[in-house]
Amino acid sequence: MDLLSTLAGFLVGTIVGLTGVGGGSLMSPLLILLFGIAPATAVGTDLWFAAITKIVGGTVHHRQNNADWTIVKRLCWGSLPAVALTLWWLSSHGHKAESGGMIVRVLGVTLVISALLTPFRRRLALRFARAEGARTDAFLRWQPVLTAAAGALLGTLITLTSVGAGALGATLLLMLYPFRLNAKRLVGTDILHAVPVALIGGIGHAVIGNINLPLLGALLLGSIPGVILGAKLTDRLPERVVTPALAVVLLIVGLRLLK
């Protein structure tokens, strides 16, 4: 199991470094479906996996200047309070939510939405970018508030399911900042915002008791070299190849969880 866990960590880490997507979107379902881990423990373990993996990947992207720190701060205005509120709710209702299958259902729905949005991120961004005149001025005025609201949505989903920082986060950022973020800065910004969210969420889940430390160690053994490799490959593999393949995988996994 340790070898399989390490291999899974390497593959997911590579995808995270390459696209900014795939951490929670792939790791939590793998832990639930392949390793038979309880959903709440899978989420808590995956949040620590995501935090440590994305610290490494984020460091690489930061050194390559692939991040917009102003946007990261705006997202954190909404996401960090949302993480705290979601952890408080889980500490009171977590067992009920898990026994009723709510975590798995929310995870499955989030994956399906992520899969459907992923191939159309650029088209959605272009549609939002076509606004002119007064609409553009109003959008720019509300942009910080809308970014914080997007952060609140992501913080809630990440803490509850460990999914949202990648596919959904990238889609929201493209709609909010269609011209400001190119592909590399989109990935870097998305990854760096996910670090404090996953870290705080992971600490909260650890306090609640939702973490499997031996499994986490095996996953990280593969993910750290994987995320470094993926970050280095960002300029070499075309997005038109990686994105559709990832969308198909997310859709299959999401539907499998909803069965």
Closest CA to 175 of 239, 138, 237, 131: 131
Average pLDDT of the residues in 49-54: 78
The pLDDT value given to residue 133: 46
Is residue 251 within 8 A of residue 115, CB to CB? The reply is yes
**What is the phi-psi region of residue 132: left when phi exceeds 0, alpha when psi lies from -120 to 50, beta otherwise?**
beta
- Whole-number average pLDDT of the chain: 78
The pLDDT value given to residue 220: 83
Q: Which position has the token pair 């509300």?
A: 142
Q: Which position has the token pair 């995270």?
A: 16
**What is the phi-psi region of residue 21: left when phi exceeds 0, alpha when psi lies from -120 to 50, beta otherwise?**
beta
| pLDDT tens digit sequence for 123-180 | 666 665 555 544 566 777 888 999 999 999 999 988 888 776 666 787 788 778 877 7
Average pLDDT of the residues in 96-113: 71
Check residue 180 and report its DSSP letter.
T
104, with CB counted inside 10 A (0-12, 13-18, 19+), is buried
| pLDDT tens digit sequence for 188-241 | 888 888 889 989 998 998 888 888 888 888 888 888 888 778 777 766 666 666
Residue 192: how many other CB atoms lie within 10 Å: 25
Average pLDDT of the residues in 91-115: 72
- d(Cα 199, Cα 193) in Å, to the nearest integer? 11
Higher per-residue pLDDT: 8 or 248: 8
- Calculate the CA dihedral of residues 108, 160, 34, 2 and round it to 10 degrees: 160
The pLDDT value given to residue 78: 95
> Against a cut of 0.85, is the pTM above it?
no
Higher per-residue pLDDT: 80 or 254: 80
Categorize the per-residue pLDDT at 38 as very low, low, confident or very high, splitting at 50, 70 and 90: confident
- Structure-token pair, residue 256: 């499998």
